[in-house]
Amino acid sequence: SSIGAQKDRVVTKEEWLQKWETGNIGFHKEQGHPLLQQYLDVLLNGRSGLRVFFPLCGKAVEMKWLADMGHSVVGVEVSEQALKEFFVEHNLPYCEEPVPEISGAKKLQSVSGNISLYCCSIYDLSSSIVGKFDGVWDRGALVAVNPGDRQRYVSLMITLMEKNSSYLLVTVSYDPNKHKGPPFYVPESEIQSLFG
């Protein structure tokens, strides 16, 4: 298949942490992602006060943007550095606490309480820990998880979604034989089979 070159690729947690440590974060958008602004109405669907999930959130500026609109934001990220940079760069006071259900995990929460960021593997989360969400902004998560973990990732995401939730997904299109990823190429047919 055309994605054969990427099928078995594995990016370790250590590799992701190193990207943050060395500032190799070309995936971070300082001004926020134009597609979220363009499709915000689709995500919100006329609703206010939503719970919005940011999988593999990094220090996405959109988290503050949505929180400032009155939504409650929850993110997950393996890099504690990324999460701390988010709060510092936005001058947001926050507190840290352990997550009793997840060994070694931390929750960094804005003092205002409307932004909660979990520092752990996304696969350690469940709806019993983080609840369910009205919206998901998947800007770079599906394309970042290892291809062999996609089914596991999508199965988890489905359990975190409320009945009427909106899921905005950004993917990238390119010749996977010329780039080993991440971001990984996820063909539309695979998105259909994963999410239904």
> Is 18 flagged in the annotation as binding?
yes
For residue 43, give the CATH number of its domain.
3.40.50.150
> Is 12 flagged in the annotation as binding?
no
Q: 157: number of CA atoms within 13 Å, CB side?
A: 28
> Is 188 flagged in the annotation as binding?
no
Q: Is the pLDDT of residue 135 over 90?
A: yes
48, part of any domain? yes
Residues spanned by the domain of 154: 13-195
Number of domains in the chain: 1
**In which residue are the tokens 């080993």 written?**
180
Task: Report the mean per-residue pLDDT for the chain.
Answer: 94
Two structure tokens written together for 170: 């950004």
pLDDT digits (tens, 9 = 90+) for 79-124: 999 999 999 999 999 999 999 999 999 999 999 999 999 999 999 9
2, part of any domain? no
The fraction of the chain above a pLDDT of 70, given in percent, is 97
> Is 13 flagged in the annotation as binding?
no
pLDDT digits (tens, 9 = 90+) for 108-117: 999 999 999 9
> Is 194 flagged in the annotation as binding?
no
> Is 46 flagged in the annotation as binding?
no
pLDDT digits (tens, 9 = 90+) for 3-21: 566 888 888 899 998 998 9
Helix axis angle, 80-89 to 13-21, nearest 10°: 40
> Is 129 flagged in the annotation as binding?
no
> Is 25 flagged in the annotation as binding?
yes
Helix axis angle, 150-159 to 188-195, nearest 10°: 50
Question: Structure pTM?
Answer: 0.94
Residue 164, helix vs strand vs coil: strand
Where does the pLDDT of residue 150 fall: very low under 50, low under 70, confident under 90, or very high at 90 and above? Answer: very high
Which residues make beta-bridge pairs with 133? 161
Residue-level pLDDT at 1: 42
> Is 17 flagged in the annotation as binding?
yes
> Is 3 flagged in the annotation as binding?
no
Q: Give Cβ neighbours of residue 93 (< 8 Å, ≥ 6 apart).
A: 87, 110, 111
86, part of any domain? yes
Q: Which residues of 38-53 are buried (b: 16+ CB within 10 A; e: fewer)?
A: eebeebbeeeeebbbb
Residue-level pLDDT at 3: 53
> Is 47 flagged in the annotation as binding?
no
3, part of any domain? no
Which amino acid does the sequence have at 139?
R
156, part of any domain? yes
Where does the pLDDT of residue 2 fall: very low under 50, low under 70, confident under 90, or very high at 90 and above? Answer: very low
> Is 178 flagged in the annotation as binding?
no
- In sequence order, what DSSP letters do the residues of the chain get, joined into one string? -TTHHHHT----HHHHHHHHHTT--TT--TT--HHHHHHHHHHHTT--S-EEEETT-TT-THHHHHHHTT-EEEEEES-HHHHHHHHHHTT--EEEEE-TTSTT-EEEEETTSSEEEEES-GGG--HHHH--EEEEEESSSTTTS-GGGHHHHHHHHHHTEEEEEEEEE------TTS---SSPP--HHHHHHHH-
> Is 125 flagged in the annotation as binding?
no
The fraction of the chain above a pLDDT of 90, given in percent, is 81
Where does the pLDDT of residue 25 fall: very low under 50, low under 70, confident under 90, or very high at 90 and above? Answer: confident
> Is 166 flagged in the annotation as binding?
no
5, part of any domain? no
74, part of any domain? yes
> Is 193 flagged in the annotation as binding?
no
118, part of any domain? yes
